[in-house]
Amino acid sequence: LNQVTEPAQTFDTKAIQALDTAHYLHPFTDFKDLNQKGARVMVKGDGIYIWDSEGKKILDAMSGLWCVNVGYGRNSISAAVYQQMETLPFYNSFFNTTNVPAAQLAAKLVEISPPQFSHVFFTSSGSEGNDTNLRMVRRYWDLLGYKDRHVIISRHNAYHGSTVAGASLGGMRAMHAQAGLPIPGIEHIGQPNYLESGRGMTEAEFGIKAASWLEDKILETGPEKVAAFIGEPIQGAGGVVIPPATYWPEIQRICDKYGILLIADEVICGFGRLGTWFGSERMGIRPDLMTFAKGVTSGYIPLGGVMVSDRVADILIEKGGDFNHGFTYSGHPVACAAALENIRILEQEKLIGQVANQTGPYLQQAFAQLASHPLVGFANSCGLVAGLNLVRQKAELQHDCVLFGTEQNVGMICRGYMFSQGIIMRAVGDRMIIAPPLCISVMQIDEMTGLIRSALDQTLEDLQARGWV
Ligand code: PMP
């Protein structure tokens, strides 16, 4: 890592905000609201920290957007990117051509993936990866002569991207409410959210129950019509929903029983987040397809794709002829060079083992301690994702906690205090979530939880002043 230094350059924040407000429509943003506030301008990153244009240093407990796994400021990635740009900045993989980093990265990804995978299809994002999945699983069943087998089952509150297929596969109500989604042929079942739906059951019982909703949906749809089930090993954007340990093995059993393809969306969980290369390994499943993006390059350059198991690839290769799908930037040499160096860092610094054996368990303890805070009803973690729920009144049983009203927006109030304390934590309703860079040390976890605790104290004071607690 570089030396952690304050940014030398100074920035005219107001001028940049003015350009931004005048011309830039941000993703997932209320444009008018942002225009009134002005965007915070980020200018530099190093390790687990970022700086804004006012010189404020912030601990980035969200790894950008769940992606900067090796941390900011890795000179060796910029060097690899520079070198590739100087050598061959672009060439496509259409028309029987390839490039050196794409072929090398394909082989490397196969090496680090579970044994059923010998092939990869490259995209530039997770959304494009999931669009690829939709077309690939339907093509697979068509080639086998099952032309009706086109339905994909997903889950409410899942996030699979923002393209038309990605948003349709996802289960976000607010996204479906715009532009007539989901597209036909996609069904949704309940999510394995114990807090929301597990009252009266043990976690283990609830895991089996939530998995049984898949079998119910398969039978309702007709097993001969179901192509695949898709899920994130741990739902990220939905609020770090960590399923009971019984859930995924039961989902695998049901997929096997009906011969349905299992798609693991590893966009967040892949590349070490849960202390294994892929979340599927931690959850004990054997997916037929795995979507990846984000952590493959630690976000330094856009890259995504789908790992394709032999079950699917053999059919596409042997029987398929042309697969009429792909992108200009599939196998982009610069992105692939960044990914190769990023994976080399993950391996060389043994960051995934560190998450499994050291920082993951340490974070779990730290979050268990945060659960003693008067505002925190419940806290949990897995590897380096974690979340805690803000409640109006605590109770012995998670399901008996008294919640705040949604209109009170307590999560957003808390997020504001996190920011002023110098830490980025995301609010999903009243659940506060983190996914810090995998290079975070035990000492930095202490620093992070210290900042979280102070911000929780300030939130509590604020809510007391409002008379809400
Ligand atoms: N799948 C999951 C699980 C994700 O978390 C995301 C992004 N947050 C996506 C897909 C979409 O990836 P992208 O934004 O790169 O299209």
| Domains contained in the chain, CATH given | 13-70+350-466 (3.90.1150.10), 76-348 (3.40.640.10)
Instruction: State the pLDDT at residue 9.
Output: 73
CA-angle at 279, arms to 415 and 333, nearest 5°: 90
- Give the ipTM: 0.99
Angle between helices 75-87 and 333-348 (to 10 degrees): 150
Identify the bridge partners of residue 46 per DSSP, sorted by sequence position. 49
Q: Kindly report the backbone phi and psi dihedral angles of residue 157, in degrees, each rounded to the nearest multiple of 5, phi listed first.
A: 70, 10
CA-angle at 131, arms to 252 and 267, nearest 5°: 60
Say yes or no: CB of residue 238 within 6 Å of ligand 1: no
CA-angle at 126, arms to 123 and 132, nearest 5°: 55
3-state SS assignment for residue 299:
coil
Q: Token pair for residue 70?
A: 């090796």
Say yes or no: CB of residue 237 within 6 Å of ligand 1: yes
Q: Which regions of the chain are under pLDDT 50?
A: 1-2
**Angstrom distance (rounded) from CA 380 to CA 367:** 6
Instruction: State the pLDDT at residue 1.
Output: 44
Total Cβ atoms within 10 A of residue 150 = 18
- Is-contact 262 285, C-beta < 8 A? yes
Say yes or no: CB of residue 125 within 6 Å of ligand 1: yes
**Ligand 1: centre distance to CA 293 (Å):** 7
Say yes or no: CB of residue 265 within 6 Å of ligand 1: yes
- Is-contact 385 232, C-beta < 8 A? no
3-state SS assignment for residue 434:
strand
Q: Token pair for residue 127?
A: 């959304």
CA-angle at 66, arms to 50 and 408, nearest 5°: 85
Identify the bridge partners of residue 153 per DSSP, sorted by sequence position. 187, 229
Amino acid at the residue 6: E
Say yes or no: CB of residue 230 within 6 Å of ligand 1: no
Identify the bridge partners of residue 306 per DSSP, sorted by sequence position. 121, 291
If you average pLDDT over every residue of the chain, what do you get?
97
Say yes or no: CB of residue 215 within 6 Å of ligand 1: no
**Angstrom distance (rounded) from CA 214 to CA 158:** 14
Atom of ligand 1 nearest to the CA of 236: 5
- Alpha helices, H only, 177-328: 194-197, 203-221, 247-258, 279-283, 310-319
Say yes or no: CB of residue 243 within 6 Å of ligand 1: no
Instruction: State the pLDDT at residue 2.
Output: 47
Instruction: State the pLDDT at residue 10.
Output: 81
Atom of ligand 1 nearest to the CA of 125: 15
Tokens 């012995």, located at residue: 396
Instruction: State the pLDDT at residue 200.
Output: 96
Euclidean distance between the first and final Cα of the chain, in Å? 44
Say yes or no: CB of residue 437 within 6 Å of ligand 1: no
Instruction: State the pLDDT at residue 5.
Output: 54
Instruction: State the pLDDT at residue 8.
Output: 58
Say yes or no: CB of residue 154 within 6 Å of ligand 1: no
- In the sheet that holds 385-390, the strands lie side by side as 376-382, 385-390, 431-434, 426-428
- Name the residue at shortest CA distance from atom 13 of ligand 1: 126
Say yes or no: CB of residue 266 within 6 Å of ligand 1: no
Q: Token pair for residue 85?
A: 């740009």
Atom of ligand 1 nearest to the CA of 235: 3
- Alpha helices, H only, 407-441: 410-421
Atom of ligand 1 nearest to the CA of 232: 3
- Is-contact 159 233, C-beta < 8 A? no
**Ligand 1: centre distance to CA 318 (Å):** 31
Instruction: State the pLDDT at residue 7.
Output: 54
**Ligand 1: centre distance to CA 395 (Å):** 35
Instruction: State the pLDDT at residue 179.
Output: 86
Say yes or no: CB of residue 161 within 6 Å of ligand 1: yes
